[in-house]
Amino acid sequence: MALSQTGIRRWYLVHKWTSLVSTLFLLMFCITGLPLIFYHEIDELTRAPVLAETVAAGQANLDTIAARAVAGEPGWKTLYLSWDDEKPLIYATIAPTYDATDKAMKFLLFDARTGDKVDAPPLDEGVMHFLLELHAELLLGLPGQLFLGLVGIVFVVALVSGVVVYAPFMRKLAFGTVRKHRTKRIKWLDTHNMIGIVTLGWVSVVGLTGVIITMSTPITMIWQRDQLAEMSAPYKDAKPPEKLASVDKAVATVRAAVPDAKVSFIAWPGTEFSTKHHYMVALAGDTPLTERLINPAMVDAETGKLVAVEQMPWYVKTLFLSSPLHFGDYGGLPLKIIWALLDIATIVVLVTGLYLWLGKRRVPIEKRIAELRSGGTLEPAE
């Protein structure tokens, strides 16, 4: 059903103002996101830790690693141990308390085969970390993250309204036409429309996954009150354990119960991803898709007994799958190169859109809509 002139005008204004509101932020997303697509490759070239090559394959005792992690910080706690996907590395997160903020935490690396500490630049420092925090939260923490989520929603509205406007304005032209023989403004408009419609699918995926990622804190809170609360209900009135069971044995118990899964990380009792009475052992699959999906195994931190192994709810799985889709981090370097090219194309769309807005429109929008709907080819004056 064709839109009326009034309808097109309304959609045009929606596209115009939502695009203007989000353009500067989107440029920031695209410019900072371009190197972030190759975060792993850049880290490997500039900050990769050096591991001993003569060490026999094996698995270090996790209790030893946890103890070594806090050895230089009296009174501190080990919060998390996590495994590198490609190297025999274990990352230890420590802090003064189990409920410490991200800013208070420190991150250490250990050889997963020997348990020896590995010298490496701090994970929360450097240019790439700065770009990631700018890209994800404007260096403002949770408020910045939620604000960028709102910007993402505005951007999705700009995409939808742009498609609605594109159809009637370009219906007399072949798909992807750039009228090079016309005025400069027409060429810029056609370039903007052509690249915009070609990259629409990719931009939609990146935009929607970006919005989902900004909701990671609320999603985690919902999971805590939903599934995590249900799993820990029998321990609701139990006192926190005075002495923790061996984390190494807890992980061995989980691996024996779920032999096909691999351990992604371990959360200590009292941390964000566990309860006050349990170790939470996060399990991942062994395929390119399932390795992104984490399922929780709950172990009694006092007795070392396996309590439950559950599937994450759909909204948490959506969050887990959004990050690799957002950065193209599930298909190797070729896919990352494609993501980078599409990112550059999106920058062109944003720049041309900004140019079109800054240029003077001497022909009223109503007159241009009327002529275009009737098959005219009116050009704005230069």
State mean pLDDT over 236-243.
84
Tokens of 12: 């045009």
170 vs 242, residue with greater confidence: 242
> What per-residue confidence (pLDDT) applies to 2?
62
Which stretch, 106-110, 124-128, 195-199, has highest mean pLDDT? 106-110
Neighbouring C-beta atoms of residue 204, cutoff 10 Å: 15
pTM of this structure: 0.84
Beta strands in the chain (DSSP E): 77-83, 89-95, 106-111, 117-118, 262-267, 278-284, 294-300, 306-309
Q: What is the pLDDT of residues 23-59, one digit of tens each?
A: 889 999 999 999 999 998 898 888 878 777 766 667 8
278 and 299 Cβ atoms separated by less than 8 Å: yes
Q: What is the mean pLDDT of the chain?
A: 85
pLDDT band at 369 (very low <50, low <70, confident <90, very high): low
Q: What is the pLDDT of residues 280-296, one digit of tens each?
A: 999 997 776 677 888 99
> What per-residue confidence (pLDDT) applies to 277?
93
Q: What is the pLDDT of residues 81-98, one digit of tens each?
A: 999 888 889 999 999 999
Residue 12 has pLDDT above 60, yes or no: yes
Q: What is the pLDDT of residues 250-275, one digit of tens each?
A: 999 999 999 888 899 999 999 999 99
> What per-residue confidence (pLDDT) applies to 195?
82
Q: How far is CA 245 from CA 65, 237, 275, 377, in A?
A: 15, 20, 15, 77
Q: Give every CB contact of residue 63 below 8 A, 6+ residues apart in sequence.
A: 246, 247, 248
266 and 80 Cβ atoms separated by less than 8 Å: yes
Q: What is the pLDDT of residues 212-223, one digit of tens each?
A: 999 999 999 999
315 and 224 Cβ atoms separated by less than 8 Å: no
Residue ranges per structural domain of the chain: 5-46+128-218+328-374, 60-109+221-322
State mean pLDDT over 139-153.
92
Rounded Cα–Cα distance for residues 140 and 136 (Å):
9
> What per-residue confidence (pLDDT) applies to 1?
53
> What per-residue confidence (pLDDT) applies to 124?
80
pLDDT above 90 covers what percent of the chain?
48
Tokens of 272: 């964000």
> What per-residue confidence (pLDDT) applies to 137?
92
> What per-residue confidence (pLDDT) applies to 382?
37
Q: What is the pLDDT of residues 299-343, one digit of tens each?
A: 999 999 999 999 999 999 999 989 888 988 877 889 999 999 999
Residue 379 has pLDDT above 50, yes or no: no
